[in-house]
Each structure stands twice: as C-alpha cells, then as structure tokens.
Structure 1
Amino acid sequence: MNRVLVPSSPVGPLPSAWRECVGTGRMNLALRADYQESAALVQQEIGFRYVRGHGLLSDDLGVLRESQGVTRYTFTYVDQVVDSWLRIGLKPFLELGFMPSALASGNQTVFWWQGNVTPPRSHDDWAALVRAVLRHLIDRYGLEEVRTWPIEVWNEPNLTQFWQGADRAAYFRLYEATARAVKDVDASLQVGGPVLSPGADDWWAPFADFVASRDVPVDFVSRHAYSSGPAQHVPFGVYQTFEPPQALLDQFDAPRRHLAGTALAGLPVHISEFNTSYRPDNPIHDTAWNAAYLAPVLAGGGDLVDSFSYWTFCDVFEEENIPTSLFHGGFGLLTHRQVRKPTFHLYAFMARMGASVLARGDDHLVCRDDDGRVTVLAWQPLGGSDDGPYGSAPATHEVRLRIPVPSDVAVVRRSVSETEGNAWTAWRELGRPRNPSARVLDLLHDASVPALRHSALVAVDGHVDLDLVLGRHEVTLVELLPVTPDEHPGLDDARLLGQGVVG
C-alpha cells in the first residue's frame, strides 16, 4: 500500500458546518430530565451551535389556546425549552410547525404524538400567531439574539405525511404568508425553506420562480438528506439497504446545483436533517458501521453546505411511539440514560480535530493547530449495501501517512470499532436486555469508552511515518503531540529496580 505524503502547508481551515446544528425530537421532550442530561453531555463533549426540532406550534407546547371565545398566546413551555437550550450554549434553529388544532383546516396528523399537518383555516390568523411568537422571543431574549436564529417554514411539505396532499401551491402560499409575517416583526430575521425531503428536487425551480415573481423574502434554503432504501418491517423495527456515503454528499450539493442561475443562487444552504436511515427504529444507527459510513460525510460536507444537522442528538424521541428497548435503532448519538454510541464518538473525535486541514482522502482527514499538534481522523471506507451483509467488510484496513512535524511526537490514539468503544456489541453479548439493570447499565457505559493507546515516534528529516491498522468498521482519532523533554537530573529508567552503582 502506498504511503500518503501529507503537505506541510494547510489547504484551508476545517469547516465547522458539521457542528453548526443538531436535531432533536419534538420540542416538548426538552422538559424531561433524561433529555436535558443528554443535551448537557453532548454540549460538553462535542459542542453544537444550534438545535432543531419539530412541534414549536403543536398542541403539546400549548402556544395557541382558546377558551370561551378568547384566544391567548401562551409561552409557559416554550420559555422553559429555550431557556434550557441557551443555558448550555445551544441556539434554536426554529421550525415553524406543526398546525395548532385550533387553527387547523383538517384532522390529518403525523407521528404517535399527532402533529397536525393541514393548512391553516386562516392565513391571517396563522401570520398573527407567527408574529406573536417572534415578538415574545424578542421580548424575552433580545432582538440581537433572535436575529441569529434561522427560521424555517414547515417540514418536508413535499411528503403527504407532513403536508396534506403534498400540495405545492398550498405550501407556497403558507411560505409567503409566513415569510412576510417574519419580516413584519423585523426585517433582519432570517427566514427560509422549503425544507424538502430527499427525492423532491423538482420543487426547487418552482419555488425559486414563485418567490422571485412575488418578491417573497428568502434568506436561506434548506433540505434533508438520507441514504436508505424502503423499510423492511419487523416487529418494533426495520431493516434497509443503503447507497454509498457519496449519495449523502450529492444530496448536500443538490440545492446549489438546482438553484444555479435562479434568484436564489448563492444563498446559504442548510441540511436541517441528515442521517443514514430515515427511520427511528433501524438498528444501523446504533452500530460502528454507522460511524465509519458517516466519517467521510463529516470530513467533506462542509465544502458543500453551510450546515448539516445530524438527526438526532439523543434517543429521547417518540415519532413511532415510546421505544421498547434501550437499544432500538433510535436516531440518537446517545441512548436513553446517556450511553454513547459509536457515531457519538465520531462527532467527539471531530471536536478534537485541529483548526487547519493538511490533507483529506477516502479514508483520512489530517489537521493541524498553530501549536504544532497534528490530528488524524481515519476510518475504514464503506460503500453502502453493495459491500454485502453487515459485518462482511474486510477484517482490517491500513492507512499509511508521512506527516510533517516540528519535533519528536507523542502519539495518542482513540478508537471505536466492532469490539472497541461499542456498547451495542456489549449489549448483544449480554443478551440484548430491553430494560438493563443498574449494574448492566454501568457495564454498557464502560463498554462505550473508546480504546486508548499511546506511543512515541522519532522525527526523521522533519516528519514521522504513521502506520495505522484499523479493525472492521473502525473510526480512529490520532493526536501527534510535539515533545520537548524537560530536564530531570539523576533520572535513569535502567535503575528502576535499584540496580547500578551509586557514587
């Protein structure tokens, strides 16, 4: 295998798009202790900037209330949710949806918690609601703060599950009423859409034509990205096939491709949801395969979009009803009770990467900090379902790099794979307990810790050769730390057993 020669000069900064936003279950869930503990852990070890979830205007947050002919806007729960996010450094990425039942034109709902997905009976009343929500948020958190919060209109209106009839004209009307209401509150607030699911690129041109012809405000565009095939249902779960990781990057790039030459060309692009599977009950989310598959997406996605938001940060999530097992294929980086999944560690590894990119390849990303610390993220390349059944990837994968360094280096390596840093594997070996005891839960937390190795390399002619052998589905982070030995007169490791002559 050829050795990759890493350049000594950076090619540019490491884009931060991978950590700009993360997804969450519906906003009401942020009132729960397990959710708040998970969010705090994610912020401590990864540190996202924004969080996006459904249900801001759904009935379980109680924003729009009616009693005996009197309408009241109520922010009791909204304030608690937003306060809890801001306390730990998360800003809201506001999704305006779903429809309050008091304003809905029909009874169609989505998810176990029944978010209403019908248009408003009155667009004037809807616009009044939007203005009331934003004015309250500005009163509470300040205009300068709320100006930094993107405001997205609805969720995946091209799907009949999320928008009655997937009626494009009706969504355009809703978008216009909403965007104008947002700008009525303050012209500098950021509003965008159309929040498309995969497979809806035929909406881009009509959306661009509509907003341009009617001079409707658009500050950014957004869509979602998933790479899984149709669901193959089993009790309390699904299995799916997967396209190669490049399919996700192609979806990231789709808005800019389709909007080139339109009035919306050049706008910021936000992938406000992405993952491998679009299902919250696919076991793939819990595996090391998921982390290795997504590694090149995190490494390269920032070249294509302004943000891409992993869906979601924890398994406190109830779209398909209450989960029936600790590991159940949930979207989360964390299970309930904060057991870290391999994909959590992929994100934590990215958070440790240096600021400037030296090299990027099919199986590695090399970065450097100004103090000379070099970081290497390496992974076993995966090609989706074409690789064969789960676990059929090669047993090992080699990455060989020649890296410029200012001195000898200490080498610290952290790894997750099928056997290391993998609580899901341990859970299977323990018999797949749906409701682990406290003792078993402690064991799963222990099993979720990445393997850590350390060594040293001597620099030769200003570089070191780093040879990595990765296991199946492994993602590894290597830190090369410049070494300047301190003086310790009299120390001699050869005499640790007291041997030798003194005098």
Structure 2
Amino acid sequence: MHKGLLLRSSVISIVLAVSGGLILGQEGRQAFGVRVVVDAARPMGPLRRIWRFFGADEPNYGYMKYGRQLLAALGRLAPGQVYFRAHNLLTSGDGTPALKWGSTGVYSEDSNGSPVYDWTILDRIFDTYQQSGIRPYVEIGFMPKDLSIRPEPYQHHWTPTARYDQIYTGWAYPPKDYNRWADLVYRWVRHCVDRYGPQEVRNWYWEVWNEANIGYWQGSTEEFLKLHDYAIDAVRRALPDARVGGPDCAGSGGRFMRTFLEHCLAGTNHATGKTGTPLDFVSFHAKGAPSSVGGHVRMGIAAQLRTIEEGFRIISSYQQLKGIPVIIGECDPEGCAACQGPQLAYRNGAMYPCYTAASFARIHDLADLYGINLEGALTWAFEFEDQPYFAGFRSLASNGIEKPVMNIFRIFSMMSGQRLAAESDGQVPLEGILKEGVRSRPDVGALASMAGSRAWVLVWHYHDDDLPGPDARVELELVGLPVANAQGLLEHYRIDHQHSNAYTAWQRMGSPQLPSPEQYQQLVEASRLALLGQPGNIGIADGKARISFDLPRHGVSLLVLSW
C-alpha cells in the first residue's frame, strides 16, 4: 500500500460510506466501512499475556533440528515467560518420535522387580527448554509400561487415517502400585530441583495427566483422583512450594470438573488421609469445531468460546476459588494437531492467525465477564519433523519455515501495558458470536493496549467461512492520548494472503517439496512479520490521531503509535 494511503493526519477527515455499505477499497476491490475508536483514557486493567503457552503430543521433537529452532523462536518472544506442555514425558520407549507418540524411558523394572530410573531423555527435553528461554508446564504422565496394570499392547502406531481411539494403549491405564507411582514423581521433582535449582523449578507448573475424563485415562474418576493425589503429594514433598494444579480435562469438564474441584477443596486426600489436595491453578481445554461445507472450510469459533464460557462459569461458582489462576491448557480451533482432512485446510494460511486474534480477544472478554484470573491460553501446536512441506498439520512451522500463525504470537508479544477500551461498529457482539459464530456479516474488531509513550491496536477481519469477501475500510481513531499535540510515529504490521505468509509464497513457487537453497531462503523471508509500507509520521492533535487503511478478509493488522 502507498504510504499516502497508510498514514492520515488527525486534521484530515476522510468521508466513508456508512458501515456495511460497499465502497471501492484497495486495488479497486469492493470494501465496506468500519469505524474503530480506541480510548486511551479508559484503561481496563493490565493486558493479560495469555498467549505465552504452547504444547505438543510429541516431546522428542523439541530437541530435534527444527524443534530446537522453533523453541528458540518461541523463547525469544518473552524470555523466561513462555511455557511448554508436552504429553508422554513418562512414557516408556527409546525416544523415537511418531505422530501422537513420544517417550523417555524414565522408568523400568529389573529382573527382580526393582525400579530403575533413567533421566537421560527427560533431561535432554528440559535442557532444551531452558536453553531456549522456555519453562516447562509439566504434565505428569503417561504410565510407564512396567507400572501399568495393562502393559500390552503399549506403543500404538497411529496414523491420520486410523481411528483416534487406537492411541489408547497400555500407557493410559492406572499404576499397579500407587506408592511406586508416587516415588517416581518424587524422584523426578527432586532430580529437577538438583539439576535446575529450586528457584527455577518454583516457576514451573505441575499437573497430572491429560484429559482424564475421556479415553486418555482408562481408569475410573476415583482412580484418577487417587493418581492425582499421590502425584501432587510427591511433588510437594520434593518441593514444598511447587506450583500444582489441574485437571487439564477435555472441554469444561462438566461433572468431572466439579468432582475434581470439590475433592481438592474438601475431599479426603488418597495419599495423606487429610482434607483436600493443594490447588494453585485450575486448567481445562477448549476446542472449536470446523467443518467442510461446499468445498471450503467453515470454522466453529462459537463452539470453542461456549466451552470456555462454561469452564469459567463452573470455576466462578466456587467462592473458595475466587482469584485462583486459570489456564486453558489446550485452546485451539479443533482437537487433533496430527489429524488431516478437508475441514482442517485452514491451518497453513491467514485464516489461522485471524481466528486466533478474534478468539483470544473474546477470551479476554469472557474472563472479565466471569471475574476469572486468566493466566494462560495454551496453543497446542508445535512442529512435526520429517514431514512434507505444509502437510496440513496444526503446527507453527513446517520444516523450519514458520507459518503465518506464528506471527500472531509475535504481534501478541509486542503488546503490553494497560488494555484500552476499544469499540468497533463492525465487531460481532460477544453474545452473538457465542450463539452462532461469524456466519453472516464479518467480524472486524480491535484489541488495544498502551504502555508509556506507545499504543498498540490489533485489528482483525474474521469470518467463519474461508471464502473471499470485500475488504474492510477501517477508520481508526485513537482518543484520550496522554499527549495533546505532537508528531507521532506509526508502524503498521500486517498478516494476510500477501504479507507475513510463507505458505502463499510457497504456493506461488509451485509448492516445491524440495525447494532450492534460494527458494528456502525466500520462504524464510516471507515468513517474517512484515511491515505494510514504511513507518511514517502522523499528527496528534487534542490527544487524537486518525488512521485509515484497508483490511482484507482474514487479514490482521497491528498499528503501533509512538510519540
């Protein structure tokens, strides 16, 4: 876009059609007008940095070539503040990864039935996190083969064409000896304290298992509570002020979540015989529900947001939990990162970051509505080694090439300070998006913050249907700025089909599966968060600044104003 279209002085008025009316937009395309007002004089409390959490089924990818590279990139977003959660940290095996599989071989038993501990692979995983500026969100699981009450079959050989429930093998069963289970956890935590120091490990999160309310746990709810109590008691014996919580259940958890919370608050602890189990944070999962309709992807943002609302409603119903940190331990457009299919075709392009922007903004709103101390929303996406380029997995990168979705986290990482009141006449109201998603008019909304002499405004143009549509002609007005008259500097970052998008660059190359070194470097360049034009001056008068720009369907803009 020409600089003259990007920057507008506050003393220039631009007359637009009424919002919803079509006008000519960028490059002659039709556009509809949207007015966004950000009020810097109306702070709404600190902007929650909920984006800092990531995770994956396959822990061993983390220390492989592209896994190390991606972890380092995540760590650079907020050193020491980014967390990573992984399944299979206690699973038996030699560390060879596969889809929805990983292992560490940490526990086995010798010919006399005595425990043997080997921390080698676990150390390699956590050492890589530490070297990358990342901390573990420790998932205590799954069951080692020699501890499982049903050890065979143990390792699955799942593929994206197989039934999902084929993954539930011997690792999903209760332990044959709960004391040995507790001793394994105790020794693991003590080992981490000895290796990384108590001050570091105090900053980690510890929770037991994954989604014990569905097939990941092949025992009863009461057996899970016993598993949880023994593990949490072991963690606290090893490090008395360790941060512990759970249950990282599938969905809001419903009755399972309430049973868990009531047990932790007032139940009899299976390990200690005392009342209650320590609970420093509460976690649950929320997924959307995309489908394939008429040959295109239709996202299901409403399903994910309704699950989050129900989870918040359950937690807020307990007065004893008022103010407790809450983490959405998996927070994604759908439920299977390693699955493939036409309904998942959104993952490589601009739809994924746009969905993330629109959904995370509503998660902030829901947390405010229910008085939730929201600490994190964990994106269950990482990378898959030795797979074709842009193979359709839910991931942040493909063969070392970062996908557009990575750039929404770069944008989130740039924003800080106080969240500001932002109103858009093109934004679908919260109650509307909860009820039916974004199926008719598009959702053009904003999330804004300010710190010191800088303000950030994130604007998205979202629709559930992955179909072309008219641009939004956005008229953005910042009011109440803490400077009356000044010359500001405006930077405009963009994610869309043409910017910050290695996938469309790869398509324009002819979708090579063996890109040349020159092509690979071009893809690296295309993957980076891009400025839309050069930074330029903008006038601030009477504490106001006005900016006009066109935003294509499924595009995201970050406007950074400094003064």
- Which band: TM-score by shorter chain? 0.7 to 0.9
Structure 1 residues 229-268: aligned runs within 5 Å? 229=290, 241-244=298-301, 246-262=302-318, 265-266=321-322, 267-268=324-325
Quick check: 1:55 aligned with 2:55? no
Quick check: 1:445 aligned with 2:537? no
Q: Which shifted more, 84-93 or 250-259? A: 250-259
Q: Which shifted more, 118-127 or 24-33? A: 24-33
The Cα of 1:94 is off from its aligned counterpart by: 0.4
Structure 1 residues 121-160: aligned runs within 5 Å? 121-160=176-215
Which residue number corresponds to residue 419 of structure 2?
357
Aligned partners of 1:418 and 1:472 also within 8 Å: no
Look up the equivalent residue of 1:334 and give its one-letter code: A
CA distance in 1, matches of 2:285, 2:237: 28
Aligned partners of 2:331 and 2:378 also within 8 Å: yes
Aligned partners of 1:414 and 1:478 also within 8 Å: yes
The Cα of 1:477 is off from its aligned counterpart by: 1.1
Q: Which shifted more, 409-418 or 248-257? A: 248-257
Look up the equivalent residue of 1:49 and give its one-letter code: V
Which residue number corresponds to residue 512 of structure 2?
433
Aligned partners of 2:473 and 2:548 also within 8 Å: no
CA distance in 2, matches of 1:13, 1:262: 24
Q: Secondary structure at the match of 1:61?
A: coil
Which residue number corresponds to residue 129 of structure 2?
85
Which residue number corresponds to residue 333 of structure 2?
276
Look up the equivalent residue of 1:32 and give its one-letter code: M
Q: Secondary structure at the match of 1:330?
A: coil
Q: Which string of whole-angstrom CA distances, capped at 9 and with x for unpartnered residues, describes residues 14-58 of structure 1?
A: 433423422134222222122111111222245552111111101
Q: Tell me the number of residue pairs that the alignment of Structure 1 and Structure 2 aligns.
A: 461
The Cα of 1:326 is off from its aligned counterpart by: 1.3
Q: Aligned in 2, Cα 1:210/1:459: closer, same or farther, shift over 3 Å?
A: closer
CA distance in 1, matches of 2:496, 2:318: 45
Q: Aligned in 2, Cα 1:433/1:292: closer, same or farther, shift over 3 Å?
A: same
Which residue number corresponds to residue 497 of structure 1?
none
Look up the equivalent residue of 1:273 and give its one-letter code: E
Aligned partners of 2:175 and 2:181 also within 8 Å: yes
Which residue number corresponds to residue 419 of structure 1?
498
The Cα of 1:424 is off from its aligned counterpart by: 1.4
Q: Secondary structure at the match of 1:152?
A: strand
Which residue number corresponds to residue 491 of structure 1?
none
- What is the root-mean-square deviation in Å for CA atoms of aligned residues? 2.7
Which residue number corresponds to residue 225 of structure 2?
172
Which residue number corresponds to residue 487 of structure 1?
none
Structure 1 residues 84-233: aligned runs within 5 Å? 84-106=128-150, 107=152, 112=157, 116-160=171-215, 162-164=216-218, 167-198=220-251, 200-211=253-264, 212-214=266-268, 215-229=276-290
Aligned partners of 1:277 and 1:285 also within 8 Å: no
The Cα of 1:451 is off from its aligned counterpart by: 4.2
Q: Secondary structure at the match of 1:351?
A: helix
Q: Secondary structure at the match of 2:355?
A: helix
Quick check: 1:295 aligned with 2:357? yes
Q: Secondary structure at the match of 1:310?
A: coil
CA distance in 2, matches of 1:301, 1:159: 24
Which residue number corresponds to residue 464 of structure 1?
545
Q: Aligned in 2, Cα 1:399/1:300: closer, same or farther, shift over 3 Å?
A: farther
Q: Secondary structure at the match of 1:178?
A: helix
Which residue number corresponds to residue 451 of structure 2?
369
CA distance in 1, matches of 2:277, 2:459: 45
Q: Secondary structure at the match of 1:171?
A: helix
Look up the equivalent residue of 2:62 and give its one-letter code: A
Q: Secondary structure at the match of 2:419?
A: strand
Q: Secondary structure at the match of 1:419?
A: coil
Q: Which runs of 5+ in 2 are unaligned?
A: 1-18, 20-33, 93-102, 159-166, 269-275, 368-373, 428-444
Q: Which string of whole-angstrom CA distances, capped at 9 and with x for unpartnered residues, describes residues 164-204 of structure 1?
A: 26x32322221222222223323322222221112632312
CA distance in 2, matches of 1:105, 1:53: 23
Q: Aligned in 2, Cα 1:230/1:357: closer, same or farther, shift over 3 Å?
A: closer
Aligned partners of 1:285 and 1:330 also within 8 Å: yes
2:69 counterpart (34, 37, 44): 37
The Cα of 1:269 is off from its aligned counterpart by: 1.2
| TM-score (norm. length: structure 2) | 0.75
Q: Aligned in 2, Cα 1:435/1:159: closer, same or farther, shift over 3 Å?
A: farther
Q: Secondary structure at the match of 2:213?
A: coil
CA distance in 1, matches of 2:421, 2:404: 24
CA distance in 2, matches of 1:329, 1:45: 25
Look up the equivalent residue of 1:76 and give its one-letter code: T
Look up the equivalent residue of 2:328 and give its one-letter code: I
Q: Which shifted more, 6-15 or 29-38? A: 6-15
Aligned partners of 1:208 and 1:264 also within 8 Å: no
The Cα of 1:260 is off from its aligned counterpart by: 3.7
Look up the equivalent residue of 1:315 and give its one-letter code: E
CA distance in 1, matches of 2:155, 2:558: 40
Look up the equivalent residue of 2:184 and give its one-letter code: L
Q: Which string of whole-angstrom CA distances, capped at 9 and with x for unpartnered residues, describes residues 209-247 of structure 1?
A: 333221233222211111025799xxxxx9964323x54
Q: Secondary structure at the match of 1:367?
A: strand
Q: Which string of whole-angstrom CA distances, capped at 9 and with x for unpartnered residues, describes residues 256-281 of structure 1?
A: 31134447532321111111122223
Look up the equivalent residue of 2:532 and give its one-letter code: L
Which residue number corresponds to residue 98 of structure 2?
none
Q: Aligned in 2, Cα 1:53/1:111: closer, same or farther, shift over 3 Å?
A: farther
| TM-score (norm. length: structure 1) | 0.84
Structure 1 residues 309-324: aligned runs within 5 Å? 309-312=378-381, 314-316=382-384, 323=387
Aligned partners of 2:46 and 2:418 also within 8 Å: yes
CA distance in 2, matches of 1:253, 1:49: 25
Aligned partners of 2:40 and 2:421 also within 8 Å: no
- Identify which of structures 1 and 2 has the higher relative contact order when contacts are C-alpha pairs closer than 8 Å and 6+ apart: 2
Q: Secondary structure at the match of 1:136?
A: helix
Q: Which string of whole-angstrom CA distances, capped at 9 and with x for unpartnered residues, describes residues 269-313 of structure 1?
A: 11111111222233322121111111133334346222111112x
